[in-house]
Chains A and B, each alone.
Chain A
Amino acid sequence: MRLRNIWHDFDWTLFAAIVTLSVISLVEIYSATKNSSIEHNAVFRQLVWVLIGVIFLFVVAAIDYHTISEHIPWIYLGSIVVLIYTLAFGKTVAGSKSWIVFGSLRFQPSELVKIVVVVAAARYLSELRNIRYATIEHILKVSLVCGVPIILVALQPDLGTTITFLPIIGLGLLVRGIKPLTVAVMIIAFVLALPVAWPFLGKHQQDRITNFVNPEHDLKGSGYQVYQSKIAIGSGGVLGKGVFKGSQNQLGFLPTRHTDFILSVVGEELGFAGVAVTLGLLAFILFRSVYTAQTARDELGLFVVMGVFGIYMFHVVENVGMVIGYMPMTGIPLPFMSYGGSSILAAFSAMGLVISVRRRRYVN
């Protein structure tokens, strides 16, 4: 591998979309935090994370994804060790022991572990040959590969991040091929598991689900947050109130506005136009990934990119749905937009993987 190859056939269009989103994100994170005494320098930290993220993107894009796949067993085991370390010595934030602290830096390993799991699952799925449908054994095996890190994250307990792993298995199996009957059985099993799992959920998780099913149930707590988010977005109108001029944002009515509800800030200050641009860019990134998957040279490339697509499609649908009350509230950030170093690094690295697959799309 030669370094100058990095620039060869690099997907500049995708990169431009990511950079544009990052610019919108930085402006609105600044708008959301400039009056806050605690988070007032969030925008500078985010800028640093984005710059590091760009480096990660280029480094991952430069490496052949086959090379990553070859080394994935060791990387995977390393990730498990890091997750166990986090469970043992991590820092607890908002009830979840999901952070590792290096001096003044905080990092959430589970975010980067997603990418590791994508490659691990892709390698396993791509090595199944000459089958039309995955068998129960295949399903159990791929679930085991993904399941170990999922359980370690669930133990933190970080429900939001845990469920973002699920589309890797789901989409992977759907693409690999699965009998409709098996799908039906899995859906029924999931529905039946809900009441069994209910008592194990935390109080605020139960509340979030209750409030989603019945939004008028309680306008406090998570219901209150979504209500304020809808007010922010709705009051923004077509063109928005102007950057730094959203009252819901500036006066603090919007909850966690620089992280989970950053799209509400965009909606209030930049209006439907700003939302359309943001969602358009996110959709572009997603469908560019789909295109990359379809033009991938081999099955490994296809599964790697579809794994990335699965994760971020789920992030986008859940976060965007949440801010307008279409989806229950979870702490899932909006990729490239929400404040947070770990998720930025993970998203940029994931895009590096996509670009890596695209660069090697032509069969030599």
Chain B
Amino acid sequence: MSPRDELDLLRSRVSIISYLVAAILAVLGFGFWQLQVLQTSHYWDLAERNRIKEILLVARRGKIYDREMRILADSRPSYNIIFIREGSRHSPEETISMLAAGIGMSHEEVLQKINRKRKDPLYQPITIKEDAGVEDVAFVMARAYEMPEISVEFQPRRLYREGQLAAHALGYIGEATEAQIQNSPDLNPRDQVGIAGLELVYDSVLRGKDGSRHVVVNNSGREIETLPDEVPPVAGNDLYTTIDLDMQKAAEETMGERVGAAVAVDPRTGDVLVLVSKPSFDPNLFAAGISSADYSVLRNNPNNPFHNRAIQSMQPPGSIFKIFEAAAALESDAISPLDHVYCRGSEVIYGRSFLCWEKGGHGSVGMYEAIVHSCDVYFYDLGKLLGIDRISQFSKLAGLGRKTGVDLPSEIAGLIPSQEWSRRYKRMKWQPIETINVSIGQGQIGVTPIQAAYAIGGLVTGGHLKQPRLVDPEQLRKLGLEAPEVHNEQYTIQENTVATIAKAMWGVVNDGGTGATARVEGFDVAGKTGTAQVVGKESYKKGIGGNTEDHAWFVGFAPYQNPEVAVAVLIEHGGHGGEAAAPVAQAILKAYYKKKTGHFKDATADKVAAIMQSARPR
């Protein structure tokens, strides 16, 4: 091979190599064509999302007031620590190791928070710590450059000023669940919504509309400029409830740690003045994202603090049922109030002996004495005379055994038995002997505290049943919002019947009856005690070591003429109604009376009181 030929050979190889390189460069050129010409809008969006950060301007949730414009729930400023995975230059592991210790959380806790939202889109912020303290916020802000993926978010947070007070009425809020978000188009993930109570029922009223602001940020998350397209947040509407803070406090303090419920309504309007359920919980715990430890303490409480006993606890009414039975008897003209029954302390009916709670017997009693002293024998006879259907028909008409329609979630109906009910649900004929039990409010019968207050209020106002509500729908209509329908009812009841019953109930409290502990000096309180045996389940309860103590009831109203307040108190396993339940009612009514007369704290007030005193019936 000559040098010339050899050079030519090398040159030809050079040519081949250059064609190969040209081909490679063409492929790379095509890569740019693909990115810059074919897919440019996709990458434009990604660049814009890098550059522009949306800042959520969280709307303030409406405040909740009591009837005297005292704040029950409002909002306070708080800060969340959030993590945005999109565009982060660290792996989540790296971020956690830089973050966790600084904000007082364990590696696992942070990891858990992230894993729970792992399937969310990357741009969706993950809340790492809610309601972070000043030190945590300072820690994160000082490291904005090292950890641009972690930031601090402002969020107005719910503050229930009175803690546990009226917790079951107010309810609580929390992060919207996936189901809620799917059902409601205006909800976004991480939105705070009502979960229980008024917060849930009036969520759309209270919840505002979040706004947004767009800012240009650099790669370390520093805001360079604000774009002019800010949408300001619209605060939610305030909610004015009918609750009376003073009466509510009086009720809760008197009930203490006992398990039960108390309800007070204004029978003229349906305003719910008091709604207590015990044990309770602090709704503030939910506002800051309840810790699993706190939650399991509440969940494992055998008395279930989440159970709203005022509307969800159905118990045999005991002797408070005698009021309705007496009214039913008078309305059916079966007896006259003056008809007497002789009580020997027990009576044999349908071949079985039924005891009166007074072993020595009450002697000869008319309706007044029978109610005042709660004579069982009198009502056994009345029950036998009326039969289950007449009792049940009137009780239902009077508002028992069905939902009152109060504006709180998950109310239950209770149970008033009838022949048809027995046929339909028990698939057996009603036994007349059971009527005898029912006639003193025992056995297969159950009412809720709110029903008891509702029905008593309706009875003593001449059959005007005002649907209980915590929010006057009129205020919502004025705001142009959708308001729930209110179903007020009226049933016919003779004036004499009302007068007879009311007078007897006055006697229970003021004439040596079983309810003397409900008495409020100067305020004509009328009422009826109830002591419901925890029967039927007795053997079962013994088996698990349960409480077989009687349930204590008290229903009442005041003043005796022109009633303004109707109350119902239930203390589960509280013992005698007069001892356990009536003092709670007394505290509620005392608080009411104090306010009613508090405006005239001078000689005139005393005079007014004196006049009212002298007007007492004999």
Q: Is the CB of A275 within 8 A of B13?
A: no
Q: Is the CB of B25 within 8 A of A251?
A: no
Interface residues of B in 215-239 (CB under 8 A from A): 216-220, 224
Q: Is the CB of B44 within 8 A of A237?
A: yes
Q: Within the complex, what minimum Cβ distance (angstroms) separates A204 from chain B?
A: 13
Chain A residues whose C-beta falls within 8 Å of the C-beta of B27 in the assembled complex: 326
- Cβ-defined partner of B17 (8 Å) among A175, A232, A324: A175
Chain B residues whose C-beta falls within 8 Å of the C-beta of A221 in the assembled complex: 89, 91
Chain A residues whose C-beta falls within 8 Å of the C-beta of B43 in the assembled complex: 230-231, 233-235
Is B154 among interface residues, defined by CB-CB distance under 8 A? Answer: no
Chain B residues whose C-beta falls within 8 Å of the C-beta of A287 in the assembled complex: 18, 22
- Cβ-defined partner of B36 (8 Å) among A132, A251, A267, A293: A267
Q: Is the CB of B91 within 8 A of A306?
A: no
Interface 1/0 per residue, B1-39 and A, CB below 8 Å: 101001101110111011001101101110111011101
A220-B89, A286-B21 as given contacts; A232 in contact with B47, CB under 8 Å = yes
Is A146 among interface residues, defined by CB-CB distance under 8 A? Answer: no
Q: Within the complex, what minimum Cβ distance (angstroms) separates B345 from chain A?
A: 86
Is B499 among interface residues, defined by CB-CB distance under 8 A? Answer: no
Q: Is the CB of A174 within 8 A of B17?
A: yes
Is A294 among interface residues, defined by CB-CB distance under 8 A? Answer: yes
Interface 1/0 per residue, A287-320 and B, CB below 8 Å: 1001001100011001000100000010011001
Q: Is the CB of A251 within 8 A of B10?
A: no
Q: Is the CB of A220 within 8 A of B36?
A: no
Q: How far is the CA of A174 from the CA of B3 in the complex (A)?
A: 18
- Cβ-defined partner of A294 (8 Å) among B14, B40, B46: B14
B16 nearest in chain A by CB position = A174
Q: Chain B interface residue count: which class?
A: 35 or more
A235 nearest in chain B by CB position = B47
Interface residues of B in 179-220 (CB under 8 A from A): 216-220
Q: Is the CB of A317 within 8 A of B47?
A: no
Q: Is the CB of B14 within 8 A of A321?
A: no
Chain A residues whose C-beta falls within 8 Å of the C-beta of B22 in the assembled complex: 283, 287
Interface 1/0 per residue, B89-101 and A, CB below 8 Å: 1110010000000
Interface residues of B in 83-110 (CB under 8 A from A): 87-91, 94
Is A129 among interface residues, defined by CB-CB distance under 8 A? Answer: yes
Q: Is the CB of A235 within 8 A of B44?
A: yes
Is A224 among interface residues, defined by CB-CB distance under 8 A? Answer: yes
Q: How far is the CA of A306 from the CA of B10 in the complex (A)?
A: 11
Q: Is the CB of A320 within 8 A of B17?
A: no
- Cβ-defined partner of B50 (8 Å) among A130, A247, A293: A247
Q: Is the CB of B50 within 8 A of A283?
A: no
Q: Is the CB of B35 within 8 A of A233?
A: yes
Is A21 among interface residues, defined by CB-CB distance under 8 A? Answer: no
Is B42 among interface residues, defined by CB-CB distance under 8 A? Answer: yes
Interface 1/0 per residue, A203-241 and B, CB below 8 Å: 000000000000000111100100010111111111000
Chain A residues whose C-beta falls within 8 Å of the C-beta of B218 in the assembled complex: 251-253
A129-B6, A233-B36, A237-B36 as given contacts; A220 in contact with B1, CB under 8 Å = no
Chain B residues whose C-beta falls within 8 Å of the C-beta of A316 in the assembled complex: 25
Q: Is the CB of A248 within 8 A of B13?
A: no
Q: How far is the CA of A276 from the CA of B39 in the complex (A)?
A: 17
Q: Is the CB of B13 within 8 A of A290?
A: no
- Cβ-defined partner of B10 (8 Å) among A228, A283, A299: A299
Interface residues of A in 319-356 (CB under 8 A from B): 320-321, 324, 326
Q: Is the CB of B40 within 8 A of A235?
A: yes
Is A202 among interface residues, defined by CB-CB distance under 8 A? Answer: no
Chain A residues whose C-beta falls within 8 Å of the C-beta of B9 in the assembled complex: 177
Q: Is the CB of A272 within 8 A of B33?
A: yes
Q: Is the CB of A324 within 8 A of B35?
A: yes
Q: Is the CB of A317 within 8 A of B24?
A: yes
User: Interface majority SS on B: helix, strand, loop or mixed?
Assistant: helix
Q: Within the complex, what minimum Cβ distance (angstroms) separates B226 from chain A?
A: 15
Is B396 among interface residues, defined by CB-CB distance under 8 A? Answer: no
Choose among A174, A238, A247, A286 the residue with the greatest number of B CB atoms under 10 Å from its CB: A247
Q: Within the complex, what minimum Cβ distance (angstroms) separates B569 from chain A?
A: 62
Is A149 among interface residues, defined by CB-CB distance under 8 A? Answer: no
Q: Within the complex, what minimum Cβ distance (angstroms) separates A247 from chain B?
A: 4
Interface residues of A in 54-100 (CB under 8 A from B): none
Q: Is the CB of B33 within 8 A of A251?
A: no
Q: Is the CB of A279 within 8 A of B28?
A: yes
Choose among B17, B21, B47 the residue with the greatest number of A CB atoms under 10 Å from its CB: B47
Is B51 among interface residues, defined by CB-CB distance under 8 A? Answer: yes
Interface 1/0 per residue, B467-483 and A, CB below 8 Å: 00000000000000000
A251-B219, A287-B22, A298-B7 as given contacts; A324 in contact with B31, CB under 8 Å = yes
Q: Is the CB of A171 within 8 A of B40?
A: no
A176 nearest in chain B by CB position = B10
B220 nearest in chain A by CB position = A252
Q: How far is the CA of A129 from the CA of B224 in the complex (A)?
A: 66
Q: How far is the CA of A219 from the CA of B50 in the complex (A)?
A: 14
B86 nearest in chain A by CB position = A219
Is A53 among interface residues, defined by CB-CB distance under 8 A? Answer: no
- Cβ-defined partner of B14 (8 Å) among A132, A175, A228, A237: A175
Chain B residues whose C-beta falls within 8 Å of the C-beta of A228 in the assembled complex: 50
Q: How far is the CA of A320 from the CA of B94 in the complex (A)?
A: 30
Q: Is the CB of B47 within 8 A of A302?
A: no
Q: How far is the CA of A271 from the CA of B48 in the complex (A)?
A: 16
A271 nearest in chain B by CB position = B36
Q: Is the CB of A231 within 8 A of B47?
A: yes
Chain A residues whose C-beta falls within 8 Å of the C-beta of B6 in the assembled complex: 129-130, 299
Q: Is the CB of A302 within 8 A of B35?
A: no
Q: How far is the CA of A301 from the CA of B565 in the complex (A)?
A: 112
A232 nearest in chain B by CB position = B47
Q: Within the complex, what minimum Cβ distance (angstroms) separates B359 from chain A?
A: 83
Q: Is the CB of B36 within 8 A of A302?
A: no
Chain B residues whose C-beta falls within 8 Å of the C-beta of A252 in the assembled complex: 218-220
Chain A residues whose C-beta falls within 8 Å of the C-beta of B47 in the assembled complex: 231-232, 234-235, 247-248, 253
Q: How far is the CA of A317 from the CA of B24 in the complex (A)?
A: 8
Q: How far is the CA of A234 from the CA of B15 in the complex (A)?
A: 34
Q: Is the CB of B7 within 8 A of A253?
A: no
Q: Is the CB of B21 within 8 A of A313?
A: yes
- Cβ-defined partner of A234 (8 Å) among B11, B28, B36, B219: B36
- List 18 A-B residue pairs with CB atoms under 8 Å apart, sorted by A's residue number: A129-B6, A175-B13, A218-B91, A221-B89, A233-B36, A234-B40, A235-B47, A236-B40, A251-B51, A251-B217, A253-B219, A267-B36, A283-B22, A298-B7, A299-B6, A317-B24, A324-B28, A324-B31
**Which residues on A are within 8 Å of B, measured CB to CB?**
129-130, 132, 171, 174-177, 218-221, 224, 228, 230-238, 247-248, 251-253, 267, 271-272, 275-276, 279, 283, 286-287, 290, 293-294, 298-299, 302, 306, 313, 316-317, 320-321, 324, 326
List 4 tightest A-B contacts by C-beta distance, closest first: A234-B43, A235-B47, A252-B219, A272-B36
Using A237-B36, A279-B28 as known contacts, list a sample of 8 further A-B pairs with CB atoms less than 8 Å apart, ordered by residue number in A: A171-B17, A251-B216, A253-B219, A267-B36, A290-B18, A306-B17, A317-B28, A324-B32
